[in-house]
Structure 1
Amino acid sequence: MREWRGRLAKAYTALTLAGLGGAAAAAPLQPCRIDGIPNELQCGSLQRPLDPARPDGVKIAVHYLVVPAMARNKQPDAVLMLAGGPGQSAINIASRVLPRLSRLGNRRDIVFIDQRGTGKSAPLDCPDDSKLPVTEQLDSEAQMKRLDACRVALEKLPYGQDGGLRFFTTTLAMQDMDAVREALAVPQWNLVGGSYGTRAALEYLRLFPTKVRRTLIDGVAPADMVLPASFSADGQAALDQLFDAHAKTHPQLRTEWQQLLASLPRPVTVAHPLTGQPERFTVDRELLMRAVRPPLYQPMLASALPAAIHAAAKDGRFEGLFGLTSAFGSAKAMRLAMGMHFSVVCAEDVPRLADSTDKPGADFQRMDADMYTRVCKTWPRGDVPADFYKLPAAPSPVLVMSGGADPATPPRHGERVAKALGAGHPERVQHLVVPQAGHGVMTVGCVRDLMFRFIDAKTDASALPQDGSCATRIPRPTAFQPIQAPTTTGAAQ
């Protein structure tokens, strides 16, 4: 669902206490190779009960990747990378993330665990519809039928039968993560989580506080954010921020945006993002909003939105808008296991939708809330403990990072989490806001060294605060200006 309407719905999301059920025997680590990483690594798996309350019932294999420390005299506390989504495979994104963690890898193992429902760990994948004809991808009714067919297919899997999709919540997944820690004989994790991975990190910290040495969470998506509602409010704030940031270079941008909205629905012809073949379809308000949101995640892509909006409003040319959307998260590694995605969101977010205090954005309105509500009516819903939505005080240092231009997890969520974690011991928590960063501060150049200093600090007292001025001073990218070919007059010489 990453191409056009179906694909854009996935991009939104540009987001699980019973006992351990007995730690099953882990398969010995074996040499392995991962796409995008040149050196040999180590892979393993651990058998886990699908339902911890039935340790003798259905088992699933949780797969993990270990990137061994370079130094022989390594530190015992490994780094655990928690992937986003929900629905990302941690192992699949390892090649993208490792450059950001390279200094940490000198003296610490770096571990990537495919959370249950993702990658090779009892995957809950839906068919990739990016190669379908555009008209099929854009049809919301057809999209709902595809999701329903996916649910039916997943419920036929050995781990999907008899309501098995209920057992893919964040809480149960974090029990898996601790079982892997035991299997690897790691005394404590250094948690690093991005986007939904921050929710996972916070839940692991709540469940196993003594097993965490340091926690770094980037783009915070806490359990209480009520994902579909916050999407609309936060997406609108980021879009309005874009208009304000480029008011001088594009003074008519807001007017052109309103003109574009008022012109819908309208037929357009745009080349298919994969085949390049021109296809004709109708752009309505929902499709336009789904096209605009993904570029907002990355300020460099967002800098081209003013020109793309102008071209669509004034000339009816939509290539720029859909080209920017296609450029976001098109890699295979970024795809989500949509079955796992809905198992998480339908259990943890949607039941709280009616109580959300977030007001729908003027332009984004309730389209996400309506879509998730509709899917979750038939999706099996897992049990979520009441304490899942609580944030106890942090027992160890936590570095919270937020991008000021983030359309999904802006600073307001990080601020709320930092305040709760720092209750009684504010020195244990730092909230670093990078005003002009988008969804993910770890990608900002100098933050790699800041992360290293935080985790590598010998004592808790020296871990925080960290100086993030190298990142906070970075300006917003200037608006992209299309190159205009010179106009020639007269006959060619």
Structure 2
Amino acid sequence: MALTPMPRRRRTVRRLHAAPAAAVTGILVTGLLATPAGAEHGTGTGTSTSTSTSTAIGTAARTVGGARFEPGPCPKTPAPITELKKARCGTLTVPENRTRRNGRKITLGVAVVPAAAARPRPDPVVWLAGGPGDDAVGEAKMAIDGGLNRDRDVVLMSQRGTYSADPALLCPNIDRFNGRAVGLVHHAPSTERLHVKATKACRDRLAGLGTDLGAYNDTESAADYADLRVALGIKQWNVFGISYGTHLALVYMRQHPRGIRSVGIDGILPPSKAGSALAWSSAREGFDGLFKACAQQSACNKRYPNLSATFNRLVRELEAHPVTTTVKVSGRPKPVKVVLDGGALVNWMTTATHVAEGVPRSLDELAHGRPQRIARQWAGWKLNPQGIGVVSHGLAYGIFCSEWTPYESRAKALRGGQNAFPSFPRSVLAQAPQLTFLRHDCDVWNVPPAPRSIRNVTRSNIPTLALSGGFDSQTGAANGPYVARTLSRATVVKVPYEPHVVFATSRCAQKITASFLDRPTAPRTGCLTGLKPPRFEIGP
């Protein structure tokens, strides 16, 4: 998935064991929609006066307007999650499309992990998952490992269409094709035709089940969370979104600000800029951060000089003359064929900033005729069986195709690539990293555009923590200062040497988040001083 957190490296926290989500496209309505009954409006105050969720979850069912919370079993997850053993759970039933009176209802899985403290704070934290298309309940381990439930309950709800929701708009056929595509030329027209065919097949299947695919978007999801807060009897809570979840958080705090005490956004994707051009500038920023760190480390710079120039040259050479190799991949009895062209290398690199220590060595081996190291990583990520049938492509395309592509022309997308990587061939620049074939996929997904207001900047005085990583090549760190321009009480933090979603990899980011929840207008950031780059691998 375009903006899903990818494999983590061993640094300041232990490695996450969740598989990277299978890619959607190669990997991310205000005035016209009725306000959900029971949802409140206003502006967060930075104070906390709510009732703890401990008194809300596990009691009788509660109906608020068109939404109903029902206590019950915990939502399903692809694998058991220990952190959910003590959770109080249930489902939230909401309208699929709030503009259709008496229309279909859908259910969203809810889990509340209790605070570790004996006397929890009264304002819980609600977690907004990445993707688009990841299930928040499945990210419980990430939230709890980061200490988010230190003294507050953590509320996790599956966004509409995700794994533990009903319906779950999953497309395992697309996931399987994306795995097979490691053996195809990445940007070839023939590859595109096969990918779009898989997308259309899933679209037709979901539509045939009666799904209103146009109802899976940020506006409906934001209303779902507004309804959840009221249905649980919570007067005020804190919002924490990662990756795509920051996109949703910025829409949510703009459309339903009442009841939000503070907002943390990590790996920031502004709705006003989301699209291919931003994907290119983010890739440039993350790559440059990693290359600069190598250049500043004497051993790395001596062994791998001019790493940026090497990477740019390899993209051009591989696009002109793709390299084919075979590698062994865990769980596969036979060797796997892998084709590396310029587009595949760019997409590998966008993911590989999560395992930055090995990137210089991997690029050097490729430059000297040894592609196996990169090919093995690329195939391993794409063919991981844990990534099959877990991502909601229906939600992802609902957002991409109604909120992104209608408001970004092909020319603008191409210019974004040319500005970021002027030396890349046009065939590479035609497909932004993580968003391969997006425009043609959206043609067959065929949902109406969202109102243009969905692209508005968010203006708010809700205290906001804007977190970014210096190696983030998926949502560049420049997005933090950008969104802060219209958030009057924002604290912008760039954690150096970290990839996309710093909360998952950096103890410092976790400490800053904890202090922000304690004092949303004055978080402590002293741990940033003295952070050091990774020790890059030096090959023979």
**Do both proteins adopt the same fold according to a TM-score greater than 0.5, normalized to the shorter chain?**
yes
Q: Which residue, out of 301, 305, 309, partners 1:251?
A: 305
Alpha-carbon distance in 1 for matches of 2:293, 2:25 = 23
AA of the residue aligned to 2:502: V
The structure 2 residue matched to 1:15, chosen from 21, 24, 28, is 28
Between Structure 1 and Structure 2, how many residues are aligned? 460
| Cα offset, 1:474, TM superposition | 1.4
Instruction: Show the counterpart of 2:537.
Output: 480
**Partner of 2:323 in structure 1?**
266
Counterpart Cα distance in 1 of 2:278 and 2:255? 25
**Given the alignment of the two structures, is residue 75 of structure 1 paired with residue 121 of structure 2, yes or no?**
yes
Cα distance in 2 between the residues matched to 1:242 and 1:169:
34
Q: Is the 8 A contact 2:516 2:524 kept in 1?
A: no
Q: Is the 8 A contact 1:93 1:333 kept in 2?
A: no
More displaced 10-residue stretch of structure 1: 47-56 or 229-238 = 229-238
Q: Match of 1:118, as an amino acid?
A: T
On the 8 A contact 2:74/2:111 being kept in 1, the answer is no
Partner residue in 1 for 2:60? none
Secondary structure in 1 aligned to 2:82? coil
Moved more, 259-268 or 318-327: 318-327
Runs of 4+ residues deviating >6 angstroms: 11-14, 31-34
Q: Is this contact kept in 2: 1:117–1:123, CA < 8 A?
A: yes
Aligned match for 1:142, one of 185, 194, 198: 194
Q: Establish whether residue 340 from structure 1 lines up as the match of residue 401 from structure 2.
A: no
Q: Deviations over 1:120-146 (max 9, x none)?
A: 222111113166585479644322221
How far apart are residue 466 of structure 1 and its match? 2.0
The SS at the match of 1:470 is helix
Q: For residue 430 of structure 1, what is the aligned residue in structure 2?
A: 491
- Residue matched to 2:366: 312
Query: TM-score, structure 1 length as denominator?
Result: 0.84
Which of 270, 275, 278 matches 1:230? 278
Post-superposition shift, 1:359?
4.2
The answer as to 2:410 corresponding to 1:366 is no
* Contiguous gaps of at least 5 residues in structure 2: 3-19, 38-64, 296-300
Secondary structure of the equivalent of 1:377?
A: helix
Q: Which residue of 2 aligns with 1:454?
A: 516
Amino acid at match of 1:123: A
Query: Is the contact between residue 80 and residue 189 of structure 1 (CA under 8 Å) also seen in structure 2?
Result: yes
Cα displacement string for residues 350-387 of structure 1 (whole angstroms, at most 9, x for unaligned residues): 11112567344424522136611111112132452333
Deviates more, 1:254-263 or 1:192-201: 254-263
* Distance apart, 1:14 and its partner CA: 6.3
For the 8 Å contact 1:15–1:195, the answer to whether it is kept is no
In the alignment, the residues of structure 2 paired with residue 397 and residue 255 of structure 1 have an alpha-carbon distance, to the nearest angstrom, of 41
Within 2, Cα distance between the matches of 1:101 and 1:328? 30
Q: Could you say if the C-alpha distance between residues 13 and 149 of structure 1 is closer, same or farther in structure 2, counting changes exceeding 3 Å?
A: closer
1:189, distance to aligned residue in structure 2 (A): 1.8
CA distance in 2, matches of 1:37, 1:310: 41
1:15-59: CA deviation from partner (whole Å, max 9, x where unpaired)? 284221533332124467862225332211122111101231111
Q: CA deviation at 1:391?
A: 3.2
Query: For 1:270 and 1:101, how far apart are their aligned partners in 2?
Result: 39
1:112 aligns with 2:156: yes
Contact 2:285 2:472 in 1 (8 A): no
Whether contact under 8 Å (1:32, 1:40) holds in the other structure is no
Contact 1:193 1:216 in 2 (8 A): yes
Q: Among residues 356, 366, 375, which one is paired with 1:302 in the alignment?
A: 356
Residue pair 1:256, 1:314 contacting (<8 A) in 2 also: no
The one-letter code of the counterpart of 1:307 is: R
1:41 aligns with 2:87: yes
- 2:171 match: 126
Q: After TM superposition, give the deviation of residue 254 of structure 1 in Å.
A: 4.2
- Specify which of 147, 155, 158 is matched with residue 207 of structure 2: 155
CA 1:52–1:61 in structure 2 vs 1: closer, same or farther (change >3 Å)? Answer: same
Percent identity between the two aligned chains: 27
* Cα displacement string for residues 272-327 of structure 1 (whole angstroms, at most 9, x for unaligned residues): 4541522335332222222222112x2xx122111111112212332335326735
* Deviation for aligned residue 1:98: 1.1
1:454/1:150 CA distance change after superposition, 3 Å: same
SS of the residue corresponding to residue 501 of structure 2 reads: coil
Letter in 2 for 1:366: A
Residues 1:273 and 1:258: Cα distance change in structure 2 (over 3 Å): farther
SS in 1 for 2:269: coil
Change (3 A) 1:232 1:149: same
Does structure 1 conserve the Cα–Cα contact (< 8 Å) formed by 2:273 and 2:455? no
Residue 86 of structure 1, aligned match among 132, 157, 160: 132
Match of 1:491?
Answer: none
Q: Is the deviation greater in 319-328 or in 76-85?
A: 319-328
Identify which of 183, 193, 197 aligns with 2:241. 193
Does the 8 A contact of 2:216 with 2:394 survive in 1?
no
Q: Is the 8 A contact 1:195 1:218 kept in 2?
A: yes
Q: CA deviation at 1:65?
A: 0.8
What secondary structure sits across from 1:145 in the alignment? helix
Q: Select 1:389's aligned residue among 426, 447, 455.
A: 455
CA distance in 1, matches of 2:240, 2:359: 31
- In structure 1, stretches of 5+ residues that fail to align are 423-427, 458-462, 485-493
Check conservation: 1:195, 1:440, Cα contact below 8 A: yes
| Secondary structure of residue in 2 paired with 1:447 | helix
Instruction: Give the alignment partner of residue 98 of structure 1, picking from 144, 148, 153.
Output: 144
Partner of 2:223: 175
- Picking from 517, 522, 525, the partner of 1:468 is 525
Which range moved further: 80-89 or 464-473? 464-473
Does the Cα contact within 8 Å between 2:74 and 2:109 map onto a contact in 1? no
Q: Tell me which moved more, 316-325 or 143-152.
A: 316-325
TM-score, normalised with respect to structure 2: 0.78
Distance in 2 separating the partners of 1:110 and 1:329 = 32
How far apart are 1:342 and its partner, in Å? 1.0
Relative to structure 1, the CA distance from residue 359 to residue 253 in structure 2 (aligned partners, 3 Å threshold; closer, same or farther) is closer
**Matching residue within 324, 340, 345 for 1:288:** 345
